[in-house]
A and B are shown apart, each in its own frame.
Chain A
Amino acid sequence: MTTTQREDTSLQNYTVSSVRMEFDKFIVPTVTIFILLLLFFFMLFPLWMILKLSFFEGGELALANFTLNNFKQYFTTAYTLRSLWHSLYVSGVTTVIVTVIIFFFAYALTRTTIANKTFFRNIIMMPLVAPSIVQALALIYLFGRNGLITSHFFQTDWNIYGATGIIVSEVLYCLPHAFVILFTTLSAVDIRLDEAAESLGASPFKVFTRITLPSAKYGIISAAALTFNLTITDFGNPVVIGGNYSVLATEIYAQVTNLYRFDLGATISIILLVPSLGAFMLNYYISRKSFAMISGAARPFIPPTRRLKKILYSVYCYIIAFSIILIFATVIIGSFVKVWPYDWSLTLAHYKFPSIGGYSALWTSLWISLIVGIVGSFVTLVAAYAMETRKPYFKQVVYFFSVMPAAIPGLVMGLGFILAFNKPYYWFYGTPWIVVINIVICNFTLGILSSVSNLKNIDPSIEEASISLGGDTISTFFKIIFPLSRVAFIQNFTYFFMRSMTTISAVIFLVSATVHLAAIEIIMLDNDGWTASANAMCTCIIVIVFVMLGILHLVNKWVSKTSGREVMIES
């Protein structure tokens, strides 16, 4: 090879690449506009349809049609109005209980030296692998009319249906979500503050109320707001265990499915949107603040805990872990016994699903979830890359619309989808693709936030080095950014996959005669009296999610081993 040759080729390549660069200029704007269009069409447009239907006669946009009749009807009919009070009541009570329980649980795991912390941490996260209906199913088996504990052990007529049932099941459902926030907060706040106060002679009680609690206040408020939001928007648990005790979410469903009152369904959606949006905004505002509190000097070492305190906290943690295990064990065992709680002989009969969906619903859920996982984590990574490293003009707008989905209850979004896309020219309506789109949009926020925080961990000069060495946007993304984001990509995939397998509220309106989903089958089976089969379907989902978690765990290990170079920032 001679020098002259080399010069010729490089000259040539520069001319080629300058054409490529002209094209390159359009990539980031195109991606930005694409993301914006996606969010406008699949988030704002459905929301707009709901607003239109609730505020305008017949949903026809005209000044003469403007009406508050729907709201008047809702607020003056005692039968429908009570769902609002019910929702506020169960959400309020659940919020208080969850926040208190989780605060001490997280405290035990971060500030004491109790044993088996990994065990507790894994158990508390378990509710994430199942649809938010597993709690209600289990509680009915334990405390229902024919419950193991109520009618079998104590022979009492008392049962858990109604507000109590909803609250207990929501508490058990919200634990992991609140835990993540408070665990982070309590690990981040510097434990030396407590020690300093103690060494200055403050009593343990005083240290707790004056130092520990105030230093975790943002985490506490944030966890409470999230719990409130999750509870008030949940559909699965109240529909199964609520009985006649209607809440906003079940009322929307009843109005739309049983009475075909889409206008009232839309109206109640707006009413549900107000408190859930409020809780979301509070959470969003607070969590931005609390990040500033995280101190780099936080010390992992925890001084040994006094014996009595240690025993009390251990017992406390075991009780909570046991409650969660009990829920899962009940559902799983319940799916394998002949007649709970009378005939305990084992059977697989409940796994011969009597419904139309059956196993095909499971397969549909599985492949939809795989697609949601890949599409969701890829789109959010691309969007985060375009926004974070290239800072296009609309960055703030894109960012704002990207966090919005988290504020919108899945049920509302689902209703909006029917209203918006129930037209013959939307080919995807009534196909699994509308489910894919809906789940990706509903979970867009967390996907984009975690992609952004991952990209912030990559030294910006790595990307600049690629650009400066002649890389265009697309090759920089695929050769540099994507490989360096593999671990985060797998995490995001896991999140999207789990959400897709377990979500009920987002897709309840989107299942049709042709599209059946496993999580919805649970409700259908339970509704038709096949409770044991509902448990069996639930067990199948749990198994699939666990298998996938196992696979992803191995993949993650393999990825970090082969690349082995997740050290992003040289120092």
Chain B
Amino acid sequence: MKKHESSKVQLINVVKSFGDNTVLHGIDLEIQAGSLTTLLGPSGCGKTTILRLIAGLELPTSGKVFLGDEDVSVLSASLRDVAMVFQSYALFPHMTVGQNVGYGLKMQGVGKEEREQHVKEALDSVGLDGFQPRYIDQMSGGQQQRVAVARALILEPKVMLFDEPLSNLDSKLRRQMREDIRRLQQELGVTSVYVTHDQDEALAVSDDVVVMKEGVIAQQGTPKELYLQPNTKFVATFMGDANILKGEVIVGGEKSLLRIDNVEIATDKPMSVDLINKTIEIAIRPEALSLIPADDNAIGLPCTIISKAYIGAAIEYSVKWNGQDLFLVSATGNQEFAIGETAKVLITPPGIAPIPD
């Protein structure tokens, strides 16, 4: 299939309430044309509502929704140049695969022959050409998912929406499907918005991730930014494992210097000078921590090994420092420590983010 003409999506101060229950509190969001942006957050955070607002299945209580330069805030879903892949796939069970995929074109009044040609192309792009006469219940879960994608992209929409598209698949298939979706999205260059509550999935497929919490955007950025530089404790703990340690700000300004116990850490993160000499929380990824023997000369946090788990490529340790449990991962092949043994924890960037609030 040819490249789509895609457009950016913009939400301006969008509020959405259902009765007394406000699920979105003034969302400002810009999604770049041609990008794949993931809306990530725990259930009930409003991510699916944003998707449905873009699709036109819900209308905003206040605020505006733009597709490209067009204000579509109150435009009917049928008229938006947007296609959606539903969590349940929402395939029509009484129609064949071909009829499902061709439904949108039929609604537009496209003739039979032309429709069949397009159906063939769309199914081909998801590797299912030839399955046209089958019924939906004769397809496996993964195939149904592909049919749902083909049914959406046949309309050459300016924006594709994915509502937790992989949640009904088993974990092996999920990995393959997310790669397929990503490849297809890049080939077609279509702006895509992807909702998930699975952070691994979000990190793997996205150009941009929007983390949401209770109807507001907690942080937006590339997967790497969100993982390495979370702004809040919520983002830090939601995007993978994080140790939250208390530390002191020694130097503020453009760059900052932090101290935990007697370990000093330099970061690239700007820090208000008002925070100097104040105690703040610091999020540290397990990979930023490593163990060295207790008698090593390097400066580290003295600790005792509480538990260890061998997980193949690495060993996970739980250690106790100063009454606090720390979690860290050490590649197999590094020096091993036994449970009960004392050691020192070394802190090395990246993966260290001060979270002052």
Interface residues of A (CB under 8 A from B): 1, 3, 6, 9-10, 13-14, 16-18, 21, 24-25, 459, 461-462, 464-472, 475, 479-480, 483-484, 563-571
B78 partner residues in chain A, CB cutoff 8 A:
17, 21, 24, 467-472
Cβ 8 A contact of B108, one of A10, A21, A462: A10
B172 contacts A by Cβ under 8 Å: no
Verify B107–A469 contact, CB threshold 8 A.
Answer: yes
Which residues of A lie under 8 Å from residue B83 when comparing CB positions?
468-469
How far is it, in angstroms, between the C-alpha of A18 and the C-alpha of B107 when the chains are bound?
12
B61 lies within 8 A of chain A by Cβ: no
Assess A570 versus B144: contact at CB under 8 Å? Given A9-B110, A470-B78, A471-B103: yes
B263 interface residue, CB < 8 Å from A? no
Would you give the 0/1 interface string for B289-327, flagging 1 where the beta carbon is closer than 8 Å to chain A?
Answer: 000000000000000000000000000000000000000
The reply to whether B168 and A570 contact each other, CB–CB distance below 8 Å, is yes
Q: Quick check: which of B31-39, B84-92, B189-197, B209-217 contacts chain A, the rest being far away?
A: B84-92
**In the assembled complex, which residues on chain B have CB atoms less than 8 Å from the CB atom of A569?**
88
- A568-B89 Cα distance, complex, nearest whole Å: 12
Given the interface pairs A9-B110, A17-B108, the reply to whether A469 lies near B151 with Cβ below 8 Å is yes
Within 8 A of A (CB), among B112-165: 114, 117-118, 135-137, 144, 151, 155-156
B141 nearest CB neighbor, chain A only: A570
Knowing A17-B78, A475-B107, the reply to whether A468 touches B93 (Cβ < 8 A) is no
Bound form: Cα–Cα A155–B77 in Å: 79
The answer on a CB contact under 8 Å between B88 and A469 is no
Contact check, B108 vs A14: say whether CB atoms are below 8 A apart.
Answer: yes
Q: Is the CB of A464 within 8 A of B57?
A: yes
Contact B82 A468 (CB under 8 A): yes
Interface residues, chain B, CB within 8 Å of chain A?
A: 2, 55-57, 76-80, 82-84, 86-94, 103-104, 107-110, 114, 117-118, 135-137, 144, 151, 155-156, 168
Q: Residues of B contacting A471 with CB < 8 Å?
A: 78, 103, 107
A466 to B91, CA, bound (A): 9
Which residues of the partner chain A approach B118 to less than 8 Å between Cβ atoms? 6
Secondary structure of the A side of the interface?
helix
In the complex with contacts A469-B151, A570-B168, A13-B86 CB distance below 8 A = no
Contact of B168 among A17, A465, A571 (CB under 8 A): A571
Please state if B109 and A16 are interface contacts (CB–CB under 8 Å).
Answer: yes
Output the nearest chain A residue to B91 by Cβ-Cβ distance.
Answer: A570
Chain A hits for B103, CB < 8 A: 466, 469, 471, 479
Alpha-carbon gap, A568 to B84, bound state (A): 19
Report how far A469 CA is from B153 CA in the complex, Å.
10
- Bound-state CA distance A461–B78 (Å) is 14
Residue numbers in B under 8 Å from A571 (CB-CB): 88, 168
How distant is the Cα of A18 from the Cα of B91 in the complex, in angstroms?
25
Distance to closest chain B CB from A471 (angstroms): 5
CA distance A472 to B77 in the complex (A): 10
Contact check, B107 vs A483: say whether CB atoms are below 8 A apart. Answer: no
Task: Please give the distance in Å from B153's CB to the nearest CB on chain A.
Answer: 12
Distance of A470 Cα from B80 Cα, bound (Å): 8
Q: Among A479, A484, A570, find the residue whose CB has the most chain B CB atoms closer than 10 A.
A: A570
State which of B86, B94, B108 has its C-beta within 8 Å of the C-beta of A565. Answer: B94
Contact, CB under 8 Å: B114 / A465: no
Report the Cα distance A186→B184, complex, angstroms.
53
Chain A neighbourhood of B86, CB < 8 A: 461, 464-465
Residue with the highest number of chain A CB atoms closer than 10 Å, among B83, B88, B94, B168: B94
Determine whether the beta carbon of A469 is less than 8 Å from that of B155: yes
CB within 8 Å for A465 and B94 given contacts A565-B135, A570-B89: no
Given A469-B104, A470-B155, A464 and B136 touching (CB < 8 A)?
no
Complex Cα–Cα for A402 and B71 (A): 40
Known: A6-B114, A471-B107, A570-B88. A21 touches B56 (CB 8 A): no
Q: Which residue of A lies closest to B135 (CB)?
A: A565
CB distance from B343 to the nearest CB of A (A): 49
A17, A467, A475, A567: the one contacting B77 at CB < 8 Å is A467
Closest residue of chain A to B87, judged by CB?
Answer: A461
Separation of A469 and B122 alpha carbons in the complex (Å): 15
Chain A's closest residue to B117 (CB) is A1
Known: A1-B114, A3-B2. A470 touches B88 (CB 8 A): no
> Nearest chain-B residue to A460 (Cβ)?
B90
Q: Tell me which of A1, A459, A563, A570 contacts B94 (CB under 8 A).
A: A563
The smallest beta-carbon distance between A21 and chain B, in angstroms, is: 5
Question: Is A470 in contact with B104, judged by CB distance below 8 angstroms?
Answer: yes
Task: Say how far B94's CB is from chain A's closest CB, in angstroms.
Answer: 5
With both beta carbons as reference points, the residue of chain A lying nearest to B78 in the complex is identified as A470
* Closest chain B residue to A463, Cβ basis: B90
A467 and B109 form a contact (CB under 8 A) = no
- 11 A-B pairs with C-beta separation under 8 A: A3-B2, A464-B55, A464-B86, A467-B77, A468-B56, A468-B57, A468-B80, A468-B83, A469-B83, A472-B78, A565-B136
- Measured between C-beta atoms, what is the minimum distance from B308 to chain A in Å? 39
Let me know if A480 and B92 touch, CB within 8 A: yes
Please determine whether B79 and A484 come into contact, CB atoms closer than 8 angstroms.
no
Known contacts A14-B79, A464-B86, A468-B55; 14 additional CB pairs below 8 A are A3-B2, A9-B114, A10-B156, A461-B90, A465-B84, A467-B57, A468-B80, A469-B103, A564-B137, A565-B93, A567-B137, A570-B88, A570-B90, A570-B91
- Report chain B residues within 8 Å CB of A564: 135, 137
Interface centre among A25, A461, A568 (most CB of B within 10 A): A461
Chain B residues closer than 8 Å to A3, beta-carbon distance: 2
Q: B93–A461 contact, CB under 8 A?
A: no
B90 to A459, Cβ gap below 8 A?
yes
Partner of B79, one of A17, A479, A565: A17
Q: How far is the CB of B21 from chain A (nearest CB, A)?
A: 16
CA separation between A535 and B151, bound complex, in Å?
A: 60
Question: In the bound complex, what is the Cα–Cα distance between A470 and B83 (angstroms)?
Answer: 9
Q: How far is the CB of B75 from the nearest CB of chain A, in Å?
A: 9
Minimum Cβ distance to chain A for residue B97 (Å): 12
Shortest beta-carbon distance, B237 to chain A, in Å? Answer: 31
The 9 A-B pairs at the shortest CB distance, nearest first, are namely A469-B104, A461-B90, A465-B90, A470-B107, A565-B93, A13-B108, A461-B86, A483-B94, A462-B90
What chain A residues lie within 8 Å of B114 (beta carbons)? 1, 6, 9
Residues on A with C-beta less than 8 A from B91 are: 462, 465, 570
State the CA gap A16–B79 with chains docked (Å).
11
What distance in Å separates the Cβ of A544 from its nearest Cβ neighbour in chain B? 31
Name the distance in Å between B48's Cβ and chain A's nearest Cβ.
Answer: 11
A567 to B139, CA, bound (A): 13
Task: State whether A470 and B108 are in contact (beta carbons under 8 Å apart), knowing that A462-B90, A565-B94 are contacts in the complex.
Answer: yes
Q: How far is the CA of A564 from the CA of B103 in the complex (A)?
A: 20
When distances are taken between beta carbons in the complex, the residues of chain A under 8 Å from B76 are 21, 24-25
Residues of B within 8 A of A472 (CB): 78, 107
Report chain B residues within 8 Å CB of A563. Answer: 94
Closest residue on chain B to residue A564 by CB atoms: B135
Q: Chain B's nearest CB lies how many Å from the CB of A317?
A: 39
User: Which residues from B are CB-within-8-Å of A565?
Assistant: 93-94, 135-137
The closest CB in chain A to the CB of B109 belongs to: A13
Measured CA separation A245–B57 after assembly (Å): 62
Which residues on A sit within 8 Å (CB–CB) of B136? 565
Given the complex of chains A and B, what is the CA–CA distance between A470 and B82 in angstroms?
Answer: 10
What is the minimal beta-carbon distance from B124 to any residue of chain A, in angstroms?
15
A91, B144: Cα distance in complex, Å: 56
B55: chain A residues at CB < 8 Å are 464, 468
Q: How far is the CB of A16 from chain B (nearest CB, A)?
A: 7
Contact A468 B77 (CB under 8 A): yes
> Are A459 and B117 in contact (CB-based, < 8 A)?
no
Assembled-state Cα–Cα distance A266/B10 (Å): 65
- Shortest C-beta distance, B82 to chain A (Å), equals 7
A6 to B1, CA, bound (A): 13
**A320 CA to B195 CA in the complex, in Å?**
59
* Complex: A462 Cα to B57 Cα, angstroms: 12
Contacts of A483 in B (CB 8 A): 94
A567 to B136, CA, bound (A): 10
Set of chain A residues within 8 Å of B84, measured between Cβ atoms: 464-465, 468
